[in-house]
Amino acid sequence: MDNVPGILIAEDENIIAKDILKTLERLGYKVFGSVRTGKDVIEKAKELNPDIVLMDIMLEGEMSGIEAAEIIMGTLNIPVIYLTALADSETLHRAKITEPFGYVLKPFDERTLHSSIEMALYKYQINNELKERTRELEEERNKSNKLLHNIFPSEVVKELKETGFIKPKEFSIVTLLFTDFQNFTEISSDMHPQQLVSELNDIFKNFDSIIDKHGLEKLKTMGDSYIVGGGLPVENNSHAFDVVSAALEMQKYLAERNKISKHKWEMRAGVHSGNVVAGVVGKNKFTYDVWGNTVNVASKMERNGVPWKINISKQTYELIKDCFECEYHNSIEITCYGKIDMYFVLKKKFEPSFIRDKIN
């Protein structure tokens, strides 16, 4: 008996209300009684939570059955069937807008009332199942979107959704940052693997926050190497400044962390600016990556650097020399590229106008 539908009647004519009540009981429904006003039916619906409300369109008091139905269906999610003897088009149009679960014309017959109630209950069940499925699909869509945004830059996600694929793009000038930890092999050999992963995860999470702050893209991590790009996938004229600023902040964070951490990490950083081709590779596990000599040179800058220094190429130096104090320290020969002068970044002088404009 617990699954017998409970019905509340809203009808301002006592004779009709009693007739409906007896008919419903004869059909085997649980009846919660009847009320005469819109205010009363709302209060009773809140109190009793019926499975369905039979609602006369015209009720006693200032509130019509249509107004009461809007509140009950909208806030209580209880289905409503209209009872009406009115046939004028304006009233029926107002009732239709509320999207009731059925109509019963007065005077009613038992078969029509019974079928209307059963159809309304079935429709309500299907609607709830559809809402639940829609909610589940929306949650899955949000999870998928979040995952895509964790893998790809926002512009790449947008292109993937619009076209279904990512077209490789050439960038005439970007800035890449490679970082690595000095003596990583020796340090990691003395640590439990789980502890090592925890250390790197903590450091890289903070690096993520720093590069997000400076509008950069994390391209990948490989072991203890952390690779960042500026000026892609959206080109800008601040990429070199942004990358070097982020590298200085990453060093500052690491120095502060070392003061309280058992393990002391010393980071090398290498930066180079030049052209690259960027795109998505892979069939099952996609990766947004960059290719070109610029990648090789940026890696060389890191390998030829020293801990606590940001080693930049002559190309990057020319882009940031007015904003940062730098010192020349050496040059290297790179196959297929030639001789490249290298500079250490000492400190920031000031922020250029295009950065101030971006902030403002």
Judge whether 228 and 290 are in contact, CB under 8 Å.
Answer: no
Please tell me the predicted confidence (pLDDT) of residue 283: 63
**Does residue 243 fall inside a structural domain?**
yes
Neighbours of 102 (CB within 10 A): 20
Q: Are residues 256 and 206 in the same domain?
A: yes
Distance CA 121, CA 44 (A): 19
Q: DSSP letters along 19-59, please?
A: HHHHHHHHTT-EEEEEESBHHHHHHHHHHH--SEEEEESS-
Domain boundary among 74, 109, 131: 131
Q: Are residues 172 and 124 in the same domain?
A: no
**Does residue 146 fall inside a structural domain?**
no
Q: Are residues 180 and 326 in the same domain?
A: yes
Give pLDDT tens digits for 266-278.
Answer: 999 999 999 999 8
- For residue 157, the one-letter residue type is V
**Does residue 153 fall inside a structural domain?**
no
Give pLDDT tens digits for 277-323.
Answer: 988 776 665 777 899 999 999 999 999 999 999 999 999 999 999 99
- Over the range 296-322, which residues count as b (16 or more CB within 10 Å of their CB) and which as e? bbbbbbbebbeeebbbbbbbbbebbbe
Distance CA 97, CA 217 (A): 50
**Does residue 297 fall inside a structural domain?**
yes
Q: Are residues 173 and 314 in the same domain?
A: yes
Low-confidence stretches of the chain (pLDDT beneath 70): 1-2, 86-88, 148-153, 156, 159, 161, 163-166, 282-285, 352-360
Please tell me the predicted confidence (pLDDT) of residue 351: 72
Please tell me the predicted confidence (pLDDT) of residue 275: 94
Please tell me the predicted confidence (pLDDT) of residue 360: 38
Q: Are residues 27 and 123 in the same domain?
A: yes
Cβ burial, residue 41 (10 Å; 0-12/13-18/19+): buried
Please tell me the predicted confidence (pLDDT) of residue 148: 67
User: Whole-model pTM?
Assistant: 0.63
Q: Which has the closest alpha carbon to 348: 212, 230, 243?
A: 243
Please tell me the predicted confidence (pLDDT) of residue 136: 85
Domain boundary among 84, 114, 131: 131
Per the structure, the count of domains in the chain is 2
**Does residue 335 fall inside a structural domain?**
yes
Q: Are residues 123 and 238 in the same domain?
A: no
Q: Are residues 214 and 328 in the same domain?
A: yes
**Domain that residue 94 falls in:** 6-131
Q: Are residues 12 and 118 in the same domain?
A: yes
Q: Are residues 330 and 225 in the same domain?
A: yes
**Does residue 288 fall inside a structural domain?**
yes
Q: Are residues 225 and 105 in the same domain?
A: no
45: domain CATH number?
3.40.50.2300
Whether cis (ω within 30° of 0) applies to the bond prior to 107 is yes
**Does residue 149 fall inside a structural domain?**
no
Q: Are residues 211 and 340 in the same domain?
A: yes
**Does residue 324 fall inside a structural domain?**
yes
247: domain CATH number?
3.30.70.1230
Here the contacts of 133-141 (C-beta below 8 Å, separation 24 or greater) are: none
Q: Which has the closest alpha carbon to 176: 360, 58, 310?
A: 310
Please tell me the predicted confidence (pLDDT) of residue 144: 72
Domain boundary among 131, 153, 182: 131
Q: Are residues 125 and 195 in the same domain?
A: no
